[in-house]
Chains A and B, each alone.
Chain A
Amino acid sequence: MTIPNDVKITPELVASHGLKPDEYQRILDLIGREPSFTELGIFSAMWNEHCSYKSSKKWLRTLPTSGAVVIQGPGENAGVVDIGDGDCVVFKMESHNHPSYIEPYQGAATGVGGILRDVFTMGARPVAAMNALRFGEPGHPKTRHLVAGVVAGVGGYGNSFGVPTVGGEVNFDARYNGNCLVNAFAAGLAKTDGIFYSKAEGVGLPVVYLGAKTGRDGVGGATMASAEFDDKIEEKRPTVQVGDPFTEKCLLEACLELMASGAVIAIQDMGAAGLTCSAVEMGAKGDLGIEIDLDKVPVREERMSAYEMMLSESQERMLMVLRPEKEAEAAAIFRKWGLDFAIVGRTTDDLRFRILHQGEQVADLPIKDLGDKAPEYDRPWTEPVVRPALAADDIPQADVADALLKLLGSADLSSRRWVYEQYDTLIQGNSLQRPGGDAGVVRVDGHPAKALAFSSDVTPRYCEADPYEGGKQAVAECWRNLTATGALPLAATDNLNFGNPERPEIMGQFVAAIKGIGEACRALDFPIVSGNVSLYNETNGRGILPTPTIGGVGLLADWNRMARIGFAAGDEAILLVGAPKNWGSHLGQSVYLRDLFGRADGPPPPVDLAHERKVGDFVRGLIRDGVATAVHDLSDGGLAVALAEMAMASGIGATVNQLNGLSPVPLFFGEDQGRYLVTIARDRVESFHAGRIGDSGIFAPWIGTTGGTALKLGEARAVPVSELRRAHEGWFPAFMAGEPAPELAPAA
Chain B
Amino acid sequence: MKSAVVLLPGLNRDRDMIAALTKISGHAPATVWETDTAIPDVDLIVIPGGFSYGDYLRCGAIAARMPVMRAVAEKAAAGAMVIGVCNGFQILVEAGLLPGALMRNSSLRFVCREVKLSVANANTAFTRSYRAGQVLRCPVAHHDGNYFADAETLGRIEGNGQVVFRYAEGTNPNGSVNDIAGIMNEKGNVLGMMPHPENLIEAAHGGTDGRGLFESALGLEAA
Point out residues on A near B: beta carbons under 8 Å.
152, 155-156, 159-162, 244-247, 249-250, 253, 337-338, 420-430, 432, 443, 559
- Give 25 A-B contacts (CB < 8 Å), ordered by A residue: A155-B110, A156-B110, A159-B112, A160-B51, A162-B12, A162-B13, A244-B54, A245-B51, A245-B54, A246-B51, A246-B54, A246-B56, A249-B9, A249-B10, A249-B12, A253-B9, A338-B9, A421-B112, A423-B110, A423-B112, A429-B15, A429-B19, A429-B20, A430-B204, A432-B204
- Taking the closest CB of chain B, its distance from the CB of A559, in whole angstroms, is 7
B156 at the interface (CB under 8 A from A): no
B10 touches A160 (CB 8 A): yes
Chain B contacts for A424, CB-based, 8 A? 110, 112, 141
Which A residue's beta carbon lies closest to that of B139? A426
Chain B contacts for A161, CB-based, 8 A? 12
A426 touches B204 (CB 8 A): no
Which A residue's beta carbon lies closest to that of B52? A246
Complex Cα distance, B20 from A247, in Å, reads 26
Which of A425, A430, A432, A559 interacts with B112 by CB under 8 Å? A425
- The main secondary structure of chain B at its interface with chain A is mixed
B111 at the interface (CB under 8 A from A): yes
> Which of B9, B139, B205 has the most C-beta atoms of chain A within 10 angstroms of its own C-beta?
B9
Q: Mark B190-223, 1 if CB is under 8 A from A, else 0.
A: 0000001011000011000000000000000000
- Taking the closest CB of chain A, its distance from the CB of B29, in whole angstroms, is 15
**Given A162-B50, A429-B16, CB of A250 within 8 Å of CB of B110:** no
**Cβ < 8 Å to A, chain B residues 72-125:** 109-113
A-B pairs, 8 with minimum CB distance: A162-B12, A246-B54, A160-B51, A429-B16, A424-B141, A422-B110, A246-B10, A424-B112
**Given A249-B9, A426-B112, A430-B204, CB of A159 within 8 Å of CB of B15:** no
B141 touches A159 (CB 8 A): yes
Chain B contacts for A559, CB-based, 8 A? 204
B53 at the interface (CB under 8 A from A): yes
- Taking the closest CB of chain A, its distance from the CB of B209, in whole angstroms, is 14
Chain B contacts for A429, CB-based, 8 A? 15-16, 19-20, 198-199, 205
- Taking the closest CB of chain B, its distance from the CB of A36, in whole angstroms, is 38
B113 touches A421 (CB 8 A): yes
Given A152-B110, A250-B9, 19 extra CB contacts under 8 A: A156-B110, A159-B141, A161-B12, A245-B51, A246-B9, A246-B54, A246-B55, A247-B54, A421-B112, A421-B113, A422-B109, A422-B112, A424-B110, A427-B13, A428-B15, A429-B19, A429-B20, A430-B204, A443-B204
**Given A162-B50, A421-B111, A559-B204, CB of A426 within 8 Å of CB of B12:** no
**Cβ < 8 Å to A, chain B residues 1-50:** 9-10, 12-13, 15-16, 19-20, 50
Chain A contacts for B111, CB-based, 8 A? 421-422
A160 touches B16 (CB 8 A): no
Complex Cα distance, B55 from A244, in Å, reads 11
- Taking the closest CB of chain A, its distance from the CB of B122, in whole angstroms, is 26
Which B residue's beta carbon lies closest to that of A451? B204
Which B residue's beta carbon lies closest to that of A417? B113
Which B residue's beta carbon lies closest to that of A423? B112
- Taking the closest CB of chain B, its distance from the CB of A329, in whole angstroms, is 17
Chain B contacts for A162, CB-based, 8 A? 12-13, 50
B141 touches A152 (CB 8 A): no
Which of A160, A425, A426 interacts with B54 by CB under 8 Å? A160
**Given A156-B110, A160-B54, CB of A427 within 8 Å of CB of B9:** no
Complex Cα distance, B205 from A432, in Å, reads 7
Chain B contacts for A426, CB-based, 8 A? 112, 139, 141, 196, 199, 205
Which A residue's beta carbon lies closest to that of B109? A422
> Which of B19, B112, B204 has the most C-beta atoms of chain A within 10 angstroms of its own C-beta?
B112
A337 touches B112 (CB 8 A): no
Complex Cα distance, B15 from A559, in Å, reads 21
B10 touches A250 (CB 8 A): yes
Complex Cα distance, B205 from A155, in Å, reads 22
Chain B contacts for A427, CB-based, 8 A? 12-13, 16, 141, 199
Chain A contacts for B143, CB-based, 8 A? 159
Complex Cα distance, B55 from A429, in Å, reads 22
Complex Cα distance, B53 from A244, in Å, reads 10
- Taking the closest CB of chain A, its distance from the CB of B46, in whole angstroms, is 15
Chain B contacts for A246, CB-based, 8 A? 9-10, 51, 53-56
Which A residue's beta carbon lies closest to that of B12? A162
Complex Cα distance, B93 from A389, in Å, reads 66
- Taking the closest CB of chain A, its distance from the CB of B54, in whole angstroms, is 3
Q: Mark B123-166, 1 if CB is under 8 A from A, else 0.
A: 00000000000000001010100000000000000000000000
Complex Cα distance, B139 from A668, in Å, reads 37
- Taking the closest CB of chain B, its distance from the CB of A560, in whole angstroms, is 9
Chain A contacts for B20, CB-based, 8 A? 429
Complex Cα distance, B140 from A421, in Å, reads 10
- Taking the closest CB of chain B, its distance from the CB of A391, in whole angstroms, is 47
